[in-house]
């Protein structure tokens, strides 16, 4: 397996690549203590076609070797329920394939986000129980379309950008402000969205949150807490750091939607220059983070 050491970053200037930690007053180097190992998979786009389910299951076996504490799933879990011609039967078959594929994760928690291809918008009516984001949230087993949870001294906030203008709705923004206010000092925040909040590649592929300015300002207000933003959607691997927040858009498990690719693919199954893969994050007690993208050839 090829591995890209995508980025190792510290929240303090003294953090050293590959060896997170801080320099003590006497000049000795204190190694930061690991808090959590987390897998970030995104854009699985699973569907019952050819050997795609088997290939995804083999990918999950690779992911499991990293002995992570839990999995963050960035959305677009199923191939596409959002297109006009998708029937109830076809949408349900995609979700059934998702259920079957993630069974081998048994015992490893998976916390998901809703992608733009997950909701079924063309239900016969908005009253249909399978219509829209709420049903997608139910299928991936999350308590609400946006939610949070805490592990050790890390707070995880999962957003839903499937609203007009690819934004948080007003209620969700107020909730997020309150969530960040309530994080105690000395704790760290990782946010996961489907659409990147700040992205290098959004200029030519995918896109980004329409409310990125408001989010950027909010994160700056909480700059002692907000460390990482994870996303997918663009199927491209990119990273940037702004105001000491690290933004990782971690490619796509499905690469070119599990297909061979096109004339722009740098290799088989690639989307443009990004190979199919997933990321493993190491989160440290001091807020340092490592994000490594593992390409797969499955
Ligand atoms: Fe996608
Ligand atoms: Fe997407």
Residues 216-264 have pLDDT tens digits of 999 999 999 999 999 999 999 999 999 999 999 999 999 999 999 999 9
Q: Give the pLDDT of residue 144.
A: 98
Place of tokens 């060896």: 19
Report pLDDT digits (tens) over 185-209.
999 999 999 999 999 999 999 999 9
Q: How confident is the model at residue 13 (pLDDT cuts 50, 70, 90)?
A: very low
Task: Output the six-digit token pair for 280.
Answer: 């493993």
Distance CA(151)–CA(141), nearest Å, equals 18
Domain annotation covers residue 11: no
Domain annotation covers residue 16: no
Domain annotation covers residue 22: no
Domain annotation covers residue 235: yes
CB atoms within 10 A of CB 136: 28
Q: Ligand 2 center to residue 132 CA distance, Å?
A: 15
Contact predicate 251/277, CB 8 Å: yes
Angle at which helix 170-182 crosses helix 212-221, to 10 degrees, equals 20
Domain annotation covers residue 27: no
Report pLDDT digits (tens) over 16-65.
334 455 556 665 666 789 999 999 999 999 999 999 999 999 999 999 99
Instruction: Note down the domain range covering 177.
Output: 33-295
Q: Kindly give the residue spans of alpha helices, DSSP state H, lying in the chain.
A: 52-64, 88-102, 132-139, 170-182, 212-221
Q: Ligand 2 center to residue 20 CA distance, Å?
A: 32
Q: Give the pLDDT of residue 7.
A: 42
Domain annotation covers residue 28: no
3-state secondary structure of 203: helix
Q: Give the pLDDT of residue 32.
A: 87
Q: Ligand 2 center to residue 186 CA distance, Å?
A: 33
Q: Give the pLDDT of residue 27.
A: 58
Domain annotation covers residue 18: no
Q: Ligand 2 center to residue 209 CA distance, Å?
A: 12
Q: Ligand 1 center to residue 25 CA distance, Å?
A: 47
Domain annotation covers residue 21: no
Contact predicate 24/30, CB 8 Å: yes
Distance CA(234)–CA(240), nearest Å, equals 14
Provide CB contacts within 8 A for 213, sequence distance 6+: none
CATH assignment at residue 276: 3.60.21.10
Mean pLDDT of the chain, nearest integer: 92
Q: Give the pLDDT of residue 31.
A: 73
User: What's the domain count of the chain?
Assistant: 1
Query: Given CA atoms 10, 13, 17, 22 in this order, what sign does their dihedral have?
Result: negative
Q: Ligand 1 center to residue 53 CA distance, Å?
A: 16
Q: Ligand 1 center to residue 287 CA distance, Å?
A: 29
């Amino acid at each position: 397996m090829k591995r890209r050491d995508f980025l190792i970053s510290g929240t303090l200037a003294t953090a050293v690549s590959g060896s997170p930690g801080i320099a003590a007053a006497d000049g000795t180097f204190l190694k930061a203590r690991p808090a959590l190992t987390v897998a970030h998979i995104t854009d699985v786009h699973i569907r019952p076609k050819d050997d795609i389910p088997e290939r995804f299951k083999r990918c999950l076996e690779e992911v499991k070797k990293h002995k992570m504490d839990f999995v963050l799933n960035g959305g677009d879990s199923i191939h596409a329920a959002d297109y006009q011609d998708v029937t109830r039967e076809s949408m349900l078959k995609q979700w059934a394939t998702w259920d079957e594929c993630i069974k081998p994760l048994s015992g490893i928690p998976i916390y998901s986000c809703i992608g733009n291809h997950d909701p079924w918008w063309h239900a016969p009516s908005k009253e249909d129980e399978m219509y829209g984001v709420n049903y997608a949230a139910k299928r991936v087993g999350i308590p609400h379309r946006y939610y949070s949870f805490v592990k050790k001294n890390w707070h995880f906030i999962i957003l839903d950008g499937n609203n007009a203008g690819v934004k948080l709705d007003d209620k969700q923004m107020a909730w997020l402000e309150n969530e960040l206010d309530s994080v105690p000092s000395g704790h760290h925040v990782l946010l996961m969205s489907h659409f990147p909040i700040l992205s290098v590649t959004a200029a030519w592929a995918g896109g980004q949150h329409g409310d990125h300015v408001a989010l950027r300002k909010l994160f700056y207000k909480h700059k002692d807490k907000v460390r990482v933003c994870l996303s997918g959607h663009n199927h491209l691997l990119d990273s940037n750091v702004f105001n000491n927040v690290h933004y990782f858009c971690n490619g796509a498990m499905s690469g070119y939607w599990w297909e061979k690719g096109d004339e722009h693919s740098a290799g088989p199954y690639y989307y443009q220059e990004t190979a199919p893969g997933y990321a493993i994050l190491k989160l440290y007690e001091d807020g340092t983070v490592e994000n490594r993208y593992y390409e797969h050839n499955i």
